[in-house]
Amino acid sequence: MVEKILFIIFAVLTVAGAIGTITRKNMIHGLLLLVFTFLNVAAIFFLTQAYFVAMIQILVYAGAIMVLFVFVLMFLNLRSFQQEKQTHRQRWIALVLSVLVLVEFVAVLYGVTKAKYGFSLASVQGGYSPDQIAAAGGNNQVFAKALFNDMLLPFEVASVVLLVAMVGAIIMVKKEKHGQMATRQWEPGAEPALDVAEEEV
């Protein structure tokens, strides 16, 4: 019962934090709310006894990745961001449609969960239950075995994905010694006159 109440509290806070993240005009506020969301997600992982994932969530997401985000935002010119206006006009249609989708999600998942588990906090069938994890030697052992045995190939492919990200970062910023394309710069708000044919690539 306590678990259930705690879960509801953290879940509500997570969703509130996520909504706050995307609605703040001030980017720094948005970022801090994102950290708040990550911490709440970590709390939910704790509740489900996935301690290892919970710690990783705090260390990697709330720690490392957020620091990176903050750095990037500090480097960018935030003021010009806040002056940007949204140009799309379908906000209300989008709102109606997303509420409809939300209702659909809730209805389907509510029905399924009720039919299957009758709303107990039992673990999903087929996955690992806390008892199995304890018998196998604890969270870290189970996690490591899954990651480096069953999931070995995806793990290796993920490292290639990281390599691609690095290569990409290099080609996006590398200064060209021999290229003849110059960087174009203009003041914010001043629309550049583009050479139509040259813009087509």
Partner 1 sequence: MKASDIIAVLPELVLLVAALAILMVEPFLKPRLQKDEGGAVCGELAPDRTAILAIALTGFAASVAVALFVSGDTRTVFSGMLALDYWSVFFKVLFGITGFITMLISSNYLESHKRHMGEFYALVIFAVIGLDLMAGARDFILFYVAFELMSISSYLLAAYFRYRTKSNESSVKYFLTGSFASAIMLYGISLVYGETGVTNYHGVAVAIANRGGSAAVLFSVVLIGIGLAFKVSAAPFHMWTPDVYQGAPTPVTAFFSTGPKTGAFAVFIAAFVMAFPGAAHNWGIFFIVLSVVTMVVGNLFGLVQTNIKRMLAYSSIAHAGYLLAGLGAMGWTADTYPAGMGVLVYLTAYTFMNLGAFGVLAYLKAQSPDKFDFSLKHFAGLARRSPWAAILLSLFLLSLTGIPGTAGFIGKFYVFGGIVKADLIWLAVLGVVLSAVSAYYYLRVVIYMFFKEPEEELTFKAPISGGMAAALALTAAATVLIGIIPSQLWDAVVRAFGSLTQ
* Shortest distance (Å) from residue 171 CB to partner 1: 5
* Shortest distance (Å) from residue 182 CB to partner 1: 7
Q: Are 28 and 73 in contact (CB under 8 A)?
A: yes
* Shortest distance (Å) from residue 194 CB to partner 1: 6
Closer residue to partner 1, CB minimum distance, 79 or 127: 127
Site of interaction with partner 1 (CB under 8 A): 105, 108-109, 111-112, 115-116, 124-127, 149-154, 157-158, 160-161, 163-165, 167-168, 170-172, 176-184, 192, 194-201
* Shortest distance (Å) from residue 65 CB to partner 1: 15
Nearest residue to 147 via CA among 129, 134, 159: 159
Q: Tell me the C-alpha distance between 183 and 165, whole Å.
A: 22
Closer residue to partner 1, CB minimum distance, 5 or 171: 171
Q: Tell me the C-alpha distance between 103 and 9, whole Å.
A: 21
Nearest residue to 15 via CA among 33, 35, 30, 37: 37
Closer residue to partner 1, CB minimum distance, 1 or 180: 180
Looking at the chain, list the stretches that DSSP marks H as alpha helix, in order from N- to C-terminal side: 2-23, 27-47, 51-56, 66-75, 78-83, 91-117, 130-135, 139-145, 152-173, 196-199
* Shortest distance (Å) from residue 186 CB to partner 1: 10
Q: Are 35 and 70 in contact (CB under 8 A)?
A: no
* Shortest distance (Å) from residue 49 CB to partner 1: 17
Positive or negative: CA dihedral 177, 178, 179, 181: positive
Closer residue to partner 1, CB minimum distance, 118 or 127: 127
Closer residue to partner 1, CB minimum distance, 78 or 152: 152
Closer residue to partner 1, CB minimum distance, 79 or 178: 178
In sequence order, what are the residues at sequence separation of 6 or more whose Cβ sits closer than 8 angstroms to the Cβ of residue 39? Answer: 58, 62
